[in-house]
Every structure is written in C-alpha cells, then in structure tokens.
C-alpha cells in the first residue's frame, strides 16, 4: 500500500535519513521505534508527502507520490508531533475547521464531528475553548482532527509524549480499537512498550538508518540468548557497577533511576557472584529479577545504547 524505496534526506550536508526502505500493507500496524533525533519525524514527513526526499521515492498503491500526491493526501490521516490546534476556538470549532479542509460540510460535517468527539472522549467538553484543555485533551483532539475524513491510513508521530497517564491509556485504547477495526497504522514512538502493544511489525531506527526490522518475536530472537538482571539495592555505587563490569566483561551495566540493569548472555548464572560483589562493596540488594528480553534489550544489543537517554 505505502512503500518507501531508498529514501534519503539531507539538510545542507547533514544526512539525517540514510537510504531507508519501508513497506506497509493494508490493515497492518507498523511501528517506527527510535530514540530522539533518530530521523523518525523526517521519515514520516517524506512518507506523507510533506517534505521532498533528497533522493529515493515513495509509492502509494504503486504510484509515485511525486506524480500524484493527492491520491495519498485525501485518504491519509496524520497526527503531527507538535500539536496543531487553534487555542481560541472550541473543540467542536477546531474539528469543524479541519473537517472543512477535508471537504466535509453541512449535515455530514456535524455528524462526523459528533462521532469523533465521542471517540476521543471529549463530547462533554466540545464547547470549551482549547486553551483551557490539559495536554492530554489537546493530544486527543489533535488525533480526532486526523480522523474526520475517515482515512484509510493513519500516521502518528509520538502521540503520547508529555501527557498524563490517563490520557495516555485512553489514546492507546483508541488507537488499538482503530487497528482492530482495520486501520492501516504507522506509529512512531520512542516508548518500546507502546510499539509492543500496538504494532505487528516494527522498524527500529537509529541515526538515520533502519537497523532492524521484523515482528516483535523475530526481533526478540536477536537477543534470545540474553538475559537482563534487574537489581534494586541500597547504596548503589559506581565502584559496585565497575566491579560488576570487570567480573562480567560481556555484560552491559546501566542505571535507570534507582534500578541497576545488567544484560548478559544467558549461559552465565550470575546471581551468586552479583550478591558476593555487592557484599564486597557494602551494597545491600533488596530485589533481583531475571527478565526475558524486551525491545529495549534489542535496541541495546544493536547499538550499545539505551533507547531513552
């Protein structure tokens, strides 16, 4: 349905998207996962005909979107990373505005606006002006604006960044439902758990390149002989981390808030040694969990870095 061949984007001499290939079939839910600055938004802008690639081409139903951008635009719903709404207008007026852009009018426009307000859970706030809304409500309205014309493909750029947990759960539920109803979806995020929840196929992007592609299961096979030990402890110290690294040179040791994560090959049975090193360094371990691989581990395995800095 949507296909990108050797897409490249340079800003001046800086190459931010390097010859990537992607494919979305009808009804598929595809994730584009990558850290800040990976090139996700730039890729999406080229896929949706908003930005011209430096080289390469995008095809919608086998026709180049350079030749016929309208065919894609009229059936594409795009949820941009930056919220694009009129703060002085009400929720309903904002939707009506976007509906008119898509050519909806009269009774149909009113019906679609009401349907969308219901879908995004804002019916009871429809006559309030948008500048009084929370971040999460604005995000929901931003998504609603992309759905008015019943798109057959939806591209979402990090739609849950910086919002409260309830709105986030609401958005994820709404998106899941859209996918179940047959929407073709390209979902961009740097939250691996969202991509795991929503997407059948996943592209992992880093520094302008697609570094891995597959189903969740296929990607996890890349690290299936790995394990991650999650440690909680009193008095974690850099001396302890260094001692662990020295004992397990194959491991990656990193700290996330007050948890220490140690990823290493499964063949090692490290718990007894970890406890001994902890005792030597006056660290008291309060819990140790051995975890199966996640997409986070896949990213770490491929790049040596965590998905979130």
Ligand X SMILES: Nc1ncnc2c1ncn2[C@@H]1O[C@H](COP(=O)(O)OP(=O)(O)OP(=O)(O)O)[C@@H](O)[C@H]1O
Positions in the binding site for ligand X (CB under 6 A): 11, 16, 34, 36-42, 81, 190
Whose Cβ is closer to Mg ion: residue 41's or residue 294's?
Answer: 41
Nearest-approach distance from CB 158 to Mg ion, in angstroms: 6
Whose Cβ is closer to Mg ion: residue 81's or residue 247's?
Answer: 81
Mark residues 52-91: x for contact with Mg ion by CB under 5 A, - for none: -----------------------------x----------
d(C-alpha 38, C-alpha 95), whole Å: 32
Whose Cβ is closer to ligand X: residue 95's or residue 156's?
Answer: 156
Q: Where are the beta strands (DSSP E) in the chain?
A: 2-11, 14-24, 29-33, 55-60, 63-64, 76-79, 153-157, 184-189, 201-206, 209-215, 226-234, 252-256, 259-265, 284-291
| Region near Mg ion per CB under 5 A, out of 36-44, 49-57, 228-236, 245-253 | 36-44
> How does DSSP classify residue 158?
S
Nearest-approach distance from CB 302 to ligand X, in angstroms: 16
Nearest-approach distance from CB 68 to ligand X, in angstroms: 25
Whose Cβ is closer to Mg ion: residue 81's or residue 303's?
Answer: 81
Task: Assess contact for 72 and 149: CB atoms under 8 A.
Answer: no
Q: CA dihedral in degrees (139, 145, 150, 153; nearest 10)?
A: -60
Nearest-approach distance from CB 287 to ligand X, in angstroms: 32
d(C-alpha 261, C-alpha 253), whole Å: 6
Nearest-approach distance from CB 293 to ligand X, in angstroms: 23
Nearest-approach distance from CB 110 to ligand X, in angstroms: 35
d(C-alpha 78, C-alpha 84), whole Å: 11
Choosing among ligand X, Mg ion, none, which partner's interface includes residue 3 (Cβ < 5 to 8 Å by kind)?
none
Choosing among Mg ion, ligand X, none, which partner's interface includes residue 263 (Cβ < 5 to 8 Å by kind)?
none
> How does DSSP classify residue 90?
B
Task: Assess contact for 271 and 229: CB atoms under 8 A.
Answer: yes
Whose Cβ is closer to Mg ion: residue 77's or residue 80's?
Answer: 80
Structure-token pair, residue 249: 């040179």
**Binding residue for Mg ion, selected from 29, 41, 43, 48, defined by CB under 5 A:** 41
Choosing among Mg ion, ligand X, none, which partner's interface includes residue 16 (Cβ < 5 to 8 Å by kind)?
ligand X
29 scored as a contact of Mg ion (CB under 5 A): no
Structure-token pair, residue 247: 């004992």
d(C-alpha 305, C-alpha 309), whole Å: 8
Whose Cβ is closer to Mg ion: residue 198's or residue 253's?
Answer: 198
Whose Cβ is closer to ligand X: residue 43's or residue 113's?
Answer: 43
160 scored as a contact of Mg ion (CB under 5 A): no
CA 45 from centroid of its chain's CA atoms: 15
d(C-alpha 36, C-alpha 190), whole Å: 7
- Where along the sequence are the contacts to Mg ion (CB under 5 A)? 40-41, 81
């Amino acid at each position: 349905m949507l296909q990108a061949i050797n897409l490249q984007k340079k800003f001046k001499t800086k190459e931010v998207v390097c010859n990537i290939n992607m494919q979305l079939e009808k009804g598929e839910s595809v994730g584009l996962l990558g850290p800040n600055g990976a090139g996700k938004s730039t890729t999406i802008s080229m896929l949706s005909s908003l930005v011209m690639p430096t080289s390469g081409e995008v095809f919608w139903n086998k026709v180049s979107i350079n030749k016929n951008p309208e065919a894609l635009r009229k059936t594409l719903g795009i949820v941009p990373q930056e919220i694009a709404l009129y703060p002085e207008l009400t929720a309903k007026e904002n939707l009506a505005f976007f509906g008119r852009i898509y050519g909806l009018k009269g009774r149909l426009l009113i019906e679609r606006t009401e349907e969308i307000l219901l879908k995004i859970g804002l019916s009871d706030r429809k006559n309030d002006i948008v500048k009084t809304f929370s971040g999460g409500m604005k995000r929901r309205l931003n998504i609603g604006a992309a759905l008015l014309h019943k798109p057959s493909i939806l591209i979402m750029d990090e739609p849950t960044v910086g919002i409260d947990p309830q709105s986030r759960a609401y958005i994820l539920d709404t998106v899941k439902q859209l996918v179940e109803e047959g929407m073709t979806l390209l979902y961009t995020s740097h939250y691996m758990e969202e991509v795991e929840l929503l997407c059948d196929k996943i592209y992992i992007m880093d520094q302008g390149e697609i570094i891995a592609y597959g189903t969740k299961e296929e990607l996890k096979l890349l690290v299936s002989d790995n394990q991650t030990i999650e440690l909680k402890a009193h008095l974690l110290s850099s001396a302890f981390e260094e001692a662990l690294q020295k004992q397990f040179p194959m491991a990656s040791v990193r700290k996330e808030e007050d948890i220490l994560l140690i990823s290493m090959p499964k063949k090692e049975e490290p718990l007894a040694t970890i406890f001994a090193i902890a005792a030597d360094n006056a660290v008291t371990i309060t819990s140790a969990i051995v975890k199966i691989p996640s997409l986070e581990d896949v990213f770490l395995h491929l790049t040596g870095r965590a998905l979130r800095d």
